[in-house]
A and B are shown apart, each in its own frame.
Chain A
Amino acid sequence: MSSIPIEYFLILSAFMFVVGVAGVLIRRNAIVVFMCIELMLNSANLSLVAFSSYLGNPIGQIFVFFVMTVAAAEAAVGLAIIIAVFRNKLTVNIDEINIFKW
């Protein structure tokens, strides 16, 4: 089986990352922003896995498992924060939540 060249993986990964960044910067819904962050994490995972297979080194794949674990924990905390914010502000629209200032 002829392998898919690594460039394909990297281009896909880069595309996913840019989509994620754009989503974080542009979207107003906190849930969507949150999902976009997951997308960025997974694009990074993808390039790790791709390099792992390309170089025949399994460490990259092990690393990805750790990232997925941490991402799951992060998702739990992040969703909890969003719920807490919603209870206070009755919205998850982030341009209405301008509390990051003195």
Chain B
Amino acid sequence: MINLIYLTVLLPLIGFLFNGLFGSKIKNEKVIGIIGSSTVGIAFLVTLLAFLETLNLPVENRSNTVELFTWLNVAGLNIKFAYLVDQLSLTMSLIVTGVGFLIHVYSIGYMHGDKGFWRFFSYLNLFIFAMMNLVLGDNFVVLFLGWEGVGLCSYLLIGFWYDRKFEKGTVPEAAKKAFVVNRIGDFGFLLGMFLIYYTFDSLNFSEVFNKAASFPVSEATFGMIAIFLFIGATGKSAQIPLFVWLPDAMAGPTPVSALIHAATMVTAGVYMVSRAAIIFVSAPTVMMVVAVIGLLTALMAATIGLVQNDIKKVLAYSTVSQLGYMFLAAGVGAFSASIFHVMTHAFFKALLFLGAGSVIHGMHNEQNIQRYGGLKKYMPRTYATFFVATLAITGIPGLSGFFSKDEILWYSYANGGFIFWFIGVLTAMMTAFYMFRLLSLTFYGKERFDHHHVHPHESSSVMTVPLIILAVLSVIGGYIGIPEVFSGEHGNQFHNWLEPVYAPAIAKLKTFGSHTHLEEILLMVVSVALALSAIHFAIKVYTKKPSIAENIAGRFKSIYNLLLNKYFVDEIYEAAIIQPIQKGSEKVLWKFTDNIIIDGAVNGVAKLIDTGSGFIRKIQNGVAQFYALIMMVGIAVVLLWVILTL
């Protein structure tokens, strides 16, 4: 099945073409939905079989390349269209196709009755196609193909309801924002690729990484490459300073938020960083930057999440925050921990979004959590699954989020230092708080919606079954990565599985802290205790005494407003970057360069020719006699010349 891995890319492409070309004619939602979902479902089965086959191979043979054709062959640059099937790409593929399939199925219910039903499924398939290219690509160019492809699909799907309003603007504006901000990151990524080709004379992963491990390349060069790649990652994975697009991406339909803006696409940056681990560890300064940016993003997004009132916005900032965790892990050299968190996060965050979608669906498109309340009895299955996901993201022991988050916190302590751990735990506390705030305001307490107009109801089983499957995964997903402390001599299974991919990078890492198990357990207990206290506080405030929340908000009015307005980052960008560019474009580029210089040059040439020809035109007066005169003068001149030269 490893050799058939291209099917996982081809099938979604076929689904995209079929639904895209014939979807508007078919009009039957069942046919479209089944085609759209089954292509991804089969892709998942193929990936699963390839995974099982790889698992049976001896460890040293687990990295296989499937070559399809030569893509580019120009003057020494030979790019093959090839897929790399190894531990890392298989893990990512399983997440993408598995979670993707569930979300496709869920969308059949969620998008029921939408006039763009067929369009939605063709875009989703296109997204899976691009994402699979991204994770399976054997070189930076195929990765970049997928990278741009997912950006395009993200744009198309955020702007799916292109005729609707979104917050202060419109949906297409949110889509454009996402696209443009992503392009800034992509530009950095492209520069990184150029520099890689310039330095290593290749873009193939194995060649580049082998050379990176052995070539005498200066740390400054590695630093440049790594920082450019990381800029690309900050764009795609919504890190400081390019995170601003992700909250606005919530303008898209909720399954899109779950699939693209929580589970898969936004983790592309994490995947890329961990794929290029050897380059990053060769530049310790950049590693530090990655860790610090991740940490700051995690903290900042979590603080914003504390006060947001839109159910999807809370989840969006939570996603940004969790992505920050992943970069923190990558930054301290715990690459397998970051991929582990990518996986568990895909389960519980997709579940949270889909659950939110179910709530929104049942509440007639109401998204403000202040107008929910007491939905537990109306939506028992949504509530149960949402509750499981909330426990998982909070890091309650025994659920998937606990294992991955704790591993990250542990490595940030062991490799980074106390301050990393401390801010990480602080963020975890806030995560626990805002998630339980969300849960309480939505499902517990008084019913704050208008009973005459809103009749909450549970969603159909096509939507709730994926929720239940994801809930099961959110619970058990962590057990493949039980830390060494508990599992004993076998160590962390997930870590062992990915270990060969990172072996060269880990070998190059200078410090890989080793501390006692006692410390690890102690830190674990502390972080769990803090999370539990935050949960207790959140439930108490938001179900029993809502007045406390108002009191706190009133007392710290300025901080509350700062958080509610997301640190005014959008406004700062608007004033510091967008306005100057817009004004500069208008005043300098348009009114001066274009209107005066370029138009002036073009019109000037025309004017010159017009004036010149005004004189010359008079020669052709149409009188035969004048022509004869000219002829005669010409003959006379020629004769004179002949006579004089003889």
Binding site for B on A (CB under 8 A): 21, 24-25, 33, 94-95, 97-102
Give chain A nearest CB distance to B22 CB in angstroms.
Answer: 57
- B632–A98 CB distance below 8 A: no
Contacting residues of chain B (331-377) with chain A, CB-CB under 8 angstroms? none
Q: Is the CB of A100 within 8 A of B624?
A: yes
Nearest chain A residue, comparing its CB with the CB of B624: A100
Which of B620, B623, B627, B628 has the largest number of chain A CB atoms within 10 A?
Answer: B623
CB A33 to nearest CB in B, in angstroms, measures: 8
* Chain A minimum-CB-distance residue to B617: A101
Known contacts: A21-B632, A25-B632. The answer to whether A94 contacts B620 by CB under 8 A is no
Besides A24-B628, A95-B625, 7 new A-B residue pairs in contact (Cβ under 8 A), listed by A number: A24-B625, A25-B628, A98-B622, A100-B622, A100-B623, A101-B621, A101-B622
Select from chain B the residue with minimum beta-carbon distance to A33. B625
The 8 A CB mask of B604-646 against A (1 = contact, 0 = none) is: 0000000000000000111111011100100000000000000
Shortest Cβ distance from B619 into A: residue: A101
In this complex, how many residues of chain B approach chain A with their Cβ under 8 Å: the count is 10
Q: Which of A25, A94, A102 makes the CB contact (< 8 A) with B629?
A: A25
B residues less than 8 Å from A21 (CB atoms): 632
Which of A24, A33, A95, A101 lies in contact with B620, CB distance below 8 A? A101
Ordered by A's residue number, 21 sampled pairs between the chains whose C-beta atoms are within 8 Å are A21-B632, A24-B625, A24-B628, A25-B625, A25-B628, A25-B629, A25-B632, A94-B624, A95-B623, A95-B625, A97-B623, A97-B624, A98-B621, A98-B623, A99-B622, A100-B623, A100-B624, A100-B627, A101-B620, A101-B621, A101-B622
Per-residue interface assignment for chain B, residues 83 to 110, with 1 indicating a CB less than 8 Å from any chain A CB and 0 otherwise: 0000000000000000000000000000
Q: A68 to B227, alpha carbons, bound, how many Å?
A: 96
Among A33, A94, A99, A100, chain B packs the most CB atoms within 10 A around the CB of A100
Q: Tell me the nearest residue of chain B to A102, going by C-beta.
A: B620
With both chains docked as a complex, state the minimum distance between the C-beta of B236 and any C-beta of chain A, in angstroms: 63
Q: Across the two chains, which residue of chain B brings its CB closest to A21?
A: B632
Which of the listed residues B621, B624, B627, B632 has the most CB atoms from chain A within 10 Å of its own CB? B624
- The answer for the CA separation of A99 and B622 in the assembled complex, in Å, is 5
Cα distance, A1 to B67, chains bound together (Å): 112
The complex places the Cα of A100 from the Cα of B631 at a distance, in Å, of 15
CB neighbours (8 Å) of A100 from chain B are 622-624, 627
